[in-house]
Amino acid sequence: MAVLLGCIVNTMSPTVARKSRTARTRRGRGPFPTYNSALAYLHSSTDYEQIGPLKGYNIDNFSLDRMRRLLDKLGSPHRMLNAVHIAGTKGKGSTAAMLSGMLEACGFTVGLYTSPHLVDLRERVQVNGKLISEAELRTLLGKVSTAAKSLDNDNSPTFFEIMTAVAFLHFVAKDVDLAIVETGLGGRLDSTNVLKPKVCAITSISHDHCQQLGETLSSIAAEKAGIFKRGVPAISVPQVSEVELALRKAANSTRSPLTFTGKDIDFSYRFESTKTDGPQTRVCVTTPISRYEHLRVPLAGEHQALNCGLALALLDKLKELGYDIDDQRAIGGLDRTVLAGRMEMLHNDPRVIADGAHNPGSIEALMLAIGQNISYDSMVVIFGCCADKDIQGMLRRVGQGADKVIFTRSRSPRSADPEELAARYSDFGGMCQATESFGEALKHAYAAVSRGDLICVTGSFYLVGEAKQHFNRVP
């Protein structure tokens, strides 16, 4: 009989067995029996990434007190983390990725918290390049939801606050040596600003989120510098004088030692193109304890030199603070760095490149980077952006590189109307048309290009994520 039962069990098909195991792993104890039910809770919260321009950028909508109370109920995971905190307009993700790659290569366990994601929500929370699992995310969302219930109804945590709490809990559970944490919006009122990091970083600052952060570069810089903490060193890339003055003023008020690459830290870069290695940017960073000479920037585009220099300066500062950094291993990790959605080639015939540039400065840098790194006869740009962006500034810079622009709508509810974009672009005299979906836009782009041409998808991380899904290039 035992043999007979064994035969019956063993006749279960591999497919059925896999489905059975999957069902078990997707269900569990806690508030959320399945991964989808956990996501439903998360998406029921207020998500400022998905709603229109928020005029009330204040402590009522962005409450660090609410975030601290939530974390306190979860055991204060933010107090258990050694962190690098990064704010800025452009280059946060690139700087974080390069620093993470170097630290991982040196044997550290590194947590990485970034936003937004391109395809999968779990991209936001990673440890040594591994995305948080569905089971882990479900469990941690359950813990956060339980803690959130003890807050009053008027102080329910937002989507970003919930995800930040999840990231901190995950990093503590994984016993990370360092957590590299990107701010979401601004810095001063950002939910990540509960951290007291080992070092802060400010990437390039330009006009973006002006309705929330202010119309001037100095006001935007002041908001970003809100992450400075008393006695915590801060490093910035070269900035325009208005921004530099605002950052120095903030650093003085918080007694945060602030240094700039290219001024206080010896930094230089050059773009070159050789027959053997092709187009590339190389950087040099020299400090009293480090000497990084002529290192290849792993991410395409001359603008990435600033981000690479900042990542190297952060690495040097961590070395100064006592972290055991092996320079040769770190350089190897830097060289292997890749980052989805930044000058990423999604398809080769025809060539389709995608980049999440979403403000005028980023679009300008992208157009320059494409011209330096990719040979093409003509370029068709598929463009879609959010309605609260500096649309006029972005369109003007798209026109500097595009032979034709196909405007479309991303899946974001904040997406600008393609017909309106096309009408505004026509003022510049550029060739364009409007479509209502990425699939339709791509079909028109295919019809407009030949073998030597290039299709570029840009304007929004949401649109780039949609393009990645279309080409089945999930990271």
For residues 301 and 279, give the distance between their C-alpha atoms in angstroms, rounded to a whole number: 9
Give the Cα-Cα-Cα angle 325, 316, 181 (nearest 5 degrees): 90
Res 427: pLDDT:
85
Residue 55: what pLDDT?
54
- Classify strands 125-127 and 454-458 as parallel, antiparallel or unpaired: unpaired
Buried/exposed code over 304-326 (b: 16+ C-beta within 10 A; e: otherwise): bbbbbbbbbbbbbbbbeeebebe
Q: What is the DSSP string of 57-119?
A: -STTTS-HHHHHHHHHHTT-GGGG--EEEEE-SB-HHHHHHHHHHHHHHTT--EEEE-S--SS
CA 467, 471, 472, 475 dihedral sign is negative
Q: Is residue 358 over pLDDT 80?
A: yes
Give the whole-number percent of the chain exceeding pLDDT 70.
89
User: So what's the pLDDT on residue 22?
Assistant: 43
More confidently predicted of 252 and 56 = 252
In this structure, what DSSP letter does residue 350 have?
Answer: T
**How many angstroms separate the CA atoms of 408 and 439, rounded?**
9
The answer on pLDDT for 370 being more than 90 is yes
Q: What are the residues facing 366 on neighbouring strands?
A: none
Determine the pLDDT at residue 264.
96
Helix (H) or strand (E) holding 274: strand 266-274
How would residue 430 be classed by pLDDT, with cut points 50, 70 and 90? confident
Radius of gyration for the chain, computed over Cα atoms and rounded to the nearest angstrom: 23
- The band of 212, judged by pLDDT with boundaries at 50, 70 and 90, is low
413 CB neighbour count, 10 Å cutoff: 13
Would you give the DSSP letter of residue 297?
Answer: P
Question: What are the DSSP calls for 36-58, one per residue?
Answer: HHHHHHHHTS--TTTSS--S--S
Q: What's the angle, vertex CA 208, arms to CA 102 and CA 369, rounded to 5? A: 55
pLDDT at residue 152 tops 70: yes
The predicted pLDDT at position 211 comes to: 55
One-letter amino acid identity for 120? D
| Domains of the chain (ranges, CATH numbers) | 64-335 (3.40.1190.10), 344-470 (3.90.190.20)
Residue 475 has pLDDT above 60, yes or no: no
Whole-angstrom CA distances from 139 to 83, 163, 172, 226, 373 are 23, 13, 14, 32, 44
pLDDT of residue 11: 39
- Cα angle: 111, vertex 82, 475; to 5 degrees: 10
Above 80 in pLDDT, residue 154?
no
Q: Model's pTM, two decimal places? A: 0.89
Between 20 and 435, whose confidence is greater? 435
Q: What is the pLDDT of residues 100-118, one digit of tens each?
A: 999 999 999 999 999 999 9
pLDDT at 436 over 60: yes
* Separation of alpha carbons 426 and 431, rounded Å: 7
88's tokens: 């800025």
- Give the tokens for residue 309: 């220099």
pLDDT tens, residue by residue, 18-61: 444 444 444 556 899 999 999 999 999 988 777 755 555 666 66
Q: Check if the beta carbon of residue 240 is closer than 8 Å to that of residue 264.
A: no
- CA 162 – CA 76 distance, rounded (Å): 14
User: Distance between CA atoms of 243 and 369, rounded to whole angstroms?
Assistant: 24
What is the C-alpha to C-alpha distance for residues 167 and 181, in angstroms, rounded to an integer?
Answer: 9
Confidence of residue 15 (pLDDT cuts 50, 70, 90): very low
The 130-131 sheet, strands edge to edge: 130-131, 125-127, 110-113, 178-182, 83-87, 199-202, 234-236, 258-260
pLDDT of residue 28: 56
Specify the range with the lowest mean pLDDT, choosing from 208-222, 246-260, 377-391, 433-447. Answer: 208-222
pLDDT for 208: 64
Asked if pLDDT for residue 8 goes beyond 50, the answer is no
Parallel, antiparallel or unpaired: strands 291-296 and 278-286: antiparallel
Separation between Cα atoms, residue 146 and residue 57, nearest integer Å: 27
The count of residues in the chain is 475
Beta strand segments in 343-425, E = 344-348, 351-354, 379-383, 404-407
Of 53, 32, 54, give the one whose Cα is nearest residue 43.
32
pLDDT digits (tens, 9 = 90+) for 189-202: 999 999 999 999 99
Between residues 7 and 226, the one the model is more confident about: 226
Q: How far apart are CA 162 and CA 192, in angstroms?
A: 11
User: Do residues 124 and 167 lie in contact, with contact meaning Cβ atoms separated by under 8 Å?
Assistant: yes
Residue 18's pLDDT is: 43
What value does the mean pLDDT of the chain take? 89
Query: Is residue 1 scored above 70 in pLDDT?
Result: no
- Say how far apart CA 453 and CA 445 lie, in whole Å: 10
